[in-house]
Each structure stands twice: as C-alpha cells, then as structure tokens.
Chains A and B, each alone.
Chain A
Amino acid sequence: MCMRRIQAELSDWLLDPPEGCCLESFEPLMEWVIIMAGPESGAYGPSLYRDDTFRMSVKFSEGYPLEPPEVLFIPPSPVHVHIYSNGHICLDILSDQSRNGGWSPALTISKVCLSLRSMLASSTEKKRPPGDLEYCLRTRNRSPRETRWEFHDTTV
C-alpha cells in the first residue's frame, strides 16, 4: 500500500501544493525534502517567521500511512517553543503514541505542512523548548519517532 499511496500524494501535491511550500526533492520516493516559507501573518499582525525559509525532511516507512512519517526540520530549524534546535518537532499529529489526536492515516504530508505553518503563525515568541540542549544531546542521531512525547500544550 505504501508506495502507491506516496505516489498518489505526490501527484496531488504537484497538482495542488500546500501554501508556502514546495518540494525540493522526492528521490527516492520514500524521502522528500520540502522547502517551507515562514507564514506571512500571525495571530497578532505579521508573523515572526515571515522573512525566513526552512527546509524539512520527510521520511516514509513501509508502514505508511498506517504509521506516521518521520518529519523534522533540517537545522537551522525555526526558533519555536515546540521545535528543538536539532529539528525535532513536538506535534501530536506526528506521533502515534497519543490515541486522542495523534497521527491518522487520513492525514497527508500536505496537511502536515499546513499544520506546521499554522503552528509557526500562531507563535508569539521566538524561544526554544525548555531543556533544548539536554534533549538534543540525548537524542543525537536518533529519529524523533523514538522520542516519547508529552503533549501538554495545545495552544501554540
């Protein structure tokens, strides 16, 4: 199922890419690189990231879309309270550990990108998550999919 589904998502993306995003590469098909422009406007006027451009790495597994893709920012990552400096993102829809919310196979990379952009848009402060340095040392060279996230804050 996974290859056909990724192929289908790719066709849809090329036909109708999410706002502010473009594909830098999709070769091999299981590993995409996405370029994301920071959102123009935020909750209170212009967004903090409007002049920034970020690169994201998306890795699909054989179990996709039943399991979530591995999505992270390629450093330098946006300075955001849910994004670690190594690019790991604390976002419930990227995790299959939470049964409420969490990843759903009905989601697509396109929808994930829109979520991430709105997460950036609603940020009011350029700040790293608490314990950023310690987290980055602990998870060096590891996939964010191995992290046990705790989703305590749903406001940002």
Chain B
Amino acid sequence: MTSGQSPRARQVTPADLAAVEKLKAEGNFAFRKGKYAAAIERYTEALLLAPNLPVLRVNRALNYLRKGELVKAVEDCSYALRLDPNYMKAHFFMGQALLEQGELLDATPHLSKALELARQSGDTIKEQIWRELAKAKYRKWQLEATARQEEQRALAGRLRGLLRRQQDTELAEEPGDEAAQAVLREAHAREDAALAAVLDRAAAGDRAGEAAGAVTCCLTMEVFREPVMLPSGLSYEDSALAEHFAKVGHWDPITKEPCKPSQAVRNLSLRAAAQQYLEEHNWAYGEIC
C-alpha cells in the first residue's frame, strides 16, 4: 500500500507495533509521574504509527483531561468510541470532560454507560465513575431546582395577588355588614393558609434533607450503590463489607453472627430501590459526589 493519505490505508508492521508498545509504556510512565505534556507527546508519536489503536486515544484523552484541555479530550474519546463503542474508559473520560465543560446533559449518558460497562467487568473504577455520575446529576438538579424555584416564586406571587383581589371584591360586596365581613375574613384566612400549604408542598421536592435510612448503608452512611446481603437479611455496601471482612473479621457487622465473605450475595432489589430513590430525590446525589 503506497497511497498513504488515509490512516486506514497504511499497514502497521510488527516493527511499528513494537515501537508503539514502547512509546505507550513511556507515555504511561510519564502520566504516573504527573508529566501530562510529555505523556501526550509519546501517545501522539505512537498514534502516527498506529492511528486506529483506541487505547492510545483514550490514554491521551486522560492526559488532556488532567491538563484541562477538555475539547481535545472529547475529540480523542469520540474517535476511540467510533472504533470501539463499548470502550468503558472512553465513555468515562468523555463524560468527565463534558461534565467539566458544563455539558451536563451530554455527560450523563456517557457516565451511565461507563458505569454499566464497569459493573459488567467488575472493574474497581466503578466507584469513581459512580461519583462522577452523581456529580453530573447533582449539578443538573441544582440548575433545574434553581429555575423551578424562581418559576414557582413568580407564580406564587401572581396567585396570591389574584386571590387577594378576589377577596377584596367579595368584601366590597358587603359594605357596612360587619358580621358578614367577619365571616368572609375568616374564610379568606383559611384560603390563604391552604394556598401557602399547596405552594410549600410543591417546593418541598427540591429541599435537600437527610437520605432515607432504608436506602442508606449503615457503614458508609451513603445511599446504596452495590448492596450485598448477608444471611441475617441485612445489606451492606459491597466495598465497605469487603473492608470489614478483610480488616476486622468474618462476622456480620451488626448482628455479629459469624459468616463467610462468600455468603454475601448481591441485593439487586435494594439497588433498584436506591436508584429509584435517587431519581426521585435528586438532591441526595449531593452527598455522594
């Protein structure tokens, strides 16, 4: 092949591959040292030899991300995802870069996809992804809640004005009749209280509080992410329970009954309930991120 214009046209030789591996290893080393610019140089050089190796794009994207060059990070991730749509880290870094850019709506599906893929493969990076996803959802909620509050405040003002005008009209229809006016005033006070209660209930959904105990792990005090259940029927966050088994001992942290780590089974129902809780109480994401 000699046309040489399109990157796809060029054949990668075994010698190229060896060079690519070496450059990649050097890039990874530079990254671990925090030398992002140097790492980017290595990956860029490797990409000249093997333009369609997604791992090079993704590794370079992470370095761009750390350097704050978000547009380039997104570009590299998009490229990698065209080559491999199920590349977990490409989705993760893409989501992070978009999140940093404030593109919350675009970030969320990538982070969700990354979490799904990491869960399938059991990659420990899933906790990090989970927190980024929580951050994206929390920021989205903050924006929406602020807009909703303003809308509701304006509407509340108008409703109160309309009600007051109607009440004044009714009072004006009974001139001089003290008793009838007193009855009306009492009815109006009840109306005012009822309207205030309705408006308060509408605003309550956006008030942050303490997450419900039923979907919270008593070890982490966070909403469940990967709950596992022990023979006692009690559920714990997987990573926290693993830490308990490793550092403290093989018993149920609350009932103290002896049990083996292998007796912990995934509690998918509780995970679904926790997820649903978070969707209905978006403010609760704030405690996770």
Interface residues of A (CB under 8 A from B): 1, 4-5, 8-9, 11-12, 15-16, 63, 65-67, 99-100, 102, 104-106, 108
Contact = CB atoms under 8 A, between A and B. Distances in A.
Contacts of A9: 221
B222 A65 contact: no
26 contacts: A1-B219, A1-B220, A1-B239, A1-B240, A1-B243, A4-B222, A5-B219, A5-B220, A5-B221, A8-B221, A8-B222, A9-B221, A11-B287, A12-B210, A63-B247, A63-B248, A65-B219, A66-B243, A66-B253, A99-B256, A100-B256, A104-B254, A105-B218, A105-B254, A106-B219, A106-B254
Report whether over half of chain A's contact residues are helix, strand or loop; otherwise say mixed. Answer: loop
Interface in B212-262: 218-222, 239-240, 243-244, 247-248, 253-254, 256
A66 B236 CA distance: 13
Contacts of B219: 1, 5, 65-66, 105-106
B220 A8 contact: yes
Contacts of B239: 1
A8 B287 contact: yes
Number of chain B interface residues as a range: 10 to 19
Contacts of A108: 221
B103 to A, nearest CB: 27
A1 B240 CA distance: 7
A2 to B, nearest CB: 10
- Interface pairs A-B: 8 shortest CB-CB: A8-B221, A106-B218, A66-B248, A105-B253, A106-B254, A105-B219, A66-B244, A1-B240
A60 B218 CA distance: 17
Report whether over half of chain B's contact residues are helix, strand or loop; otherwise say mixed. Answer: loop
A106 B256 CA distance: 12
Contacts of B248: 63, 66-67
A65 B253 CA distance: 10
Nearest to B251: A99
Given A12-B221, A105-B254, 14 more contacts: A1-B219, A1-B220, A1-B243, A4-B220, A5-B219, A5-B221, A8-B220, A12-B210, A15-B209, A16-B210, A65-B219, A66-B243, A67-B248, A106-B253
A16 B244 CA distance: 28
B2 to A, nearest CB: 58
Nearest to B131: A4
B251 to A, nearest CB: 8
Given A1-B220, A15-B210, A104 B253 contact: yes
A11 B287 CA distance: 9
Nearest to B258: A99
A99 B255 CA distance: 10
A102 B254 CA distance: 10
A16 B219 CA distance: 19
Contacts of B243: 1, 66
Contacts of B244: 66, 105
A152 to B, nearest CB: 20
B26 to A, nearest CB: 35
Nearest to B252: A104
Nearest to A108: B221
A102 B287 CA distance: 29
